[in-house]
Amino acid sequence: MRLSRYFMPTLREAPADAQIVSHQLMLRAGMVRQEAAGIYAWLPLGLRVLKKIEQVVREEMDRAGAIEILMPTIQLADLWKESGRYDDYGDEMLRILDRGQRELLFGPTAEEVVTDIFRSYVKSYKDLPKNLYNIQWKFRDERRPRFGVMRGREFLMKDAYSFDADEAGARKSYNRMFLAYLNVYARLGLKAVPVKADPGPIGGDLSHEFMILADTGESQVFAHRDLVEMGAPGPDIDWDGDLGPEVARRTSLYAASDEMHDAARFEAMPEDKRMTARGIEVGHIFYFGTKYSAPMKALVTGPDGKDTPVQMGSYGVGVSRLVAAIIEASHDANGIIWPAAAAPFGAVVLNLRAGDAAVDAVCEQAYAALTAAGIDPLYDDRDDRPGAKFAAADLVGIPWQLIVGPKGVAEGVVELKNRATGERQTVPLDAALKAITG
């Protein structure tokens, strides 16, 4: 993409409304524009990042055996009356009447819809397990939206729903999501800690929140250091095998956020293993049994010929929140530092003397080579001063900066800067391209 033809409205100063660093940087980098409290338009750069994250989530869901669908944003109130939640949900639900005075709502989540889909088609235990997910906009009319897209009213969520014949099966489904989530966050360059969450009325131990560590997080996290440092399981696990031991390895070590914190257990750990940090909740997985399947009569016939409500779980990732969370976890005084998997562009070519034939030629060559290599480069071909280009490149946080100036070109070299480390090397173009393309 040539910057001269792109739409990337960067700001030198952050709008006063933005209080936290991710919000400030998203506005300065021209990623989003606020349209109302907690409601944002996604500009080209922000949309690219959103889609990158979405794709990582999608790939890890698919790998773990979940199947993508797309449910509507607008839902029928009748379904929520069936589950009993229409009245319970309160003012956070945005309720709508259509022209026929039918009660509709903008979905804050999709248990009812997915349960309705499931019950319409699946009747036998032989068709289980199933895990259906979608990545769709949700709306929750928060009393106080804040912190940009971190806590918006409209937000993009990946929500998956598992269906199993019995509790043992549900636990397997849960374990798959548990490990898949760790892989998602690891791919996005984040340190994620699964903490025990309030399981709600169902009880049991099958509810975890995933907190990523960032100094500006909303919650306090207490965890065993070994758990934080353990790393993700990686893609090469046997998703159809017994994931119990792998999950147990990660849930046996202490980890809790403030509301579930057990100070006594924490203090019992060796001091050098105790870790407290700030965290941002970016995922929540949940087993809730027949909470929806029973009232909504999502029944499957078992081997004994009897109908029983299907066992369900739900698994949410805040995709749009992750955009902000990554920035909170990865930035410096000059701007955003994108991990490769979330970066809007793989590299940026900085033409320090647009209009100079020799410099233009090297830039074009670099741009073409990076494009051909699938790096999806941004080319800053604007007629602007070097300082402005450096500042913009740092601000938007693209992993590699390929800096092409007249002096270097005369000597047959370019400069390659790594945004994350700040490391620079002055090398021939070929070497720089090789470094970027791996």
Partner RNA sequence: CGGAGUGUGGCUCAGUCUGGUAGAGCACCGCGUUCGGGACGCGGGGGUCGCAGGUUCAAAUCCUGCCACUCCGACCA
Q: Which of residues 178-207 bind RNA (CB under 7 A)?
A: 200
Q: Which two tokens stand for residue 380?
A: 């800053």
Residues 148-167 that bind RNA (CB under 7 A): 159
**Residue 206 C-beta: closest distance to RNA, Å:** 12
**How far is C-alpha 421 from the geometric centre of its chain's CA atoms?**
23
Total Cβ atoms within 10 A of residue 294: 15
| Residue 365 engages RNA in binding (rule: CB under 7 A) | no
Q: Quickly count: other Cβ atoms within 10 Å of residue 221's Cβ.
A: 24
Taking CB under 7 A as the rule, does residue 331 contact RNA? no
Cα 318 to Cα 127, 145, 315, 321, 407, distances in angstroms: 29, 15, 10, 5, 46
Q: Helix (H) and strand (E) counts for the chain?
A: 14, 23
Stretch that binds RNA, among 119-127, 186-194, 336-344, 350-358 (CB under 7 A): 350-358
Q: Which stretch binds RNA (CB under 7 A): 68-76, 118-126, 177-185, 391-399?
A: 391-399
- CB atoms near residue 167 (< 10 Å): 14
Task: Return the range that interacts with RNA (CB under 7 A); candidates 10-18, 93-101, 178-186, 187-195.
Answer: 10-18
> Near RNA by CB under 7 A, which window of 95-103, 174-182, 185-193, 281-289?
281-289
Taking CB under 7 A as the criterion, the residue among 57, 275, 369, 403 binding RNA is 403
Going by C-beta distance under 8 Å and a sequence separation of 6 or more, which residues neighbour residue 27?
11, 14, 15, 18, 33, 34, 148
Number of amino acids touching RNA (CB under 7 A): 55
Q: Which is nearer to RNA, 59 or 384 (CB)?
A: 384
Residues 312, 174: Cα–Cα separation, whole Å: 10
| Beta strands 347-351 and 400-404, pairing class | parallel
Please state, in angstroms and rounded to a whole number, the distance separating the CA atoms of residues 148 and 48.
17
Q: Is 278 one of the binding residues for RNA (CB under 7 A)?
A: no
Among 135, 185, 415, 432, binds RNA (CB under 7 A): 415
- Taking CB under 7 A as the rule, does residue 246 contact RNA? no
Among 257, 314, 320, 351, binds RNA (CB under 7 A): 314
Among 122, 391, 427, 435, binds RNA (CB under 7 A): 391
Under the criterion CB under 7 A, does residue 145 sit at the interface with RNA? yes
Q: How far is CA 339 from CA 88, 189, 330, 396, in A?
A: 40, 6, 8, 12
Binding site for RNA (CB under 7 A): 10-17, 19-20, 28, 34, 36-38, 109, 111, 142-147, 159, 200, 284, 286, 288, 291, 314, 316, 334, 352-353, 355, 384-388, 390-395, 403-408, 415, 417, 424
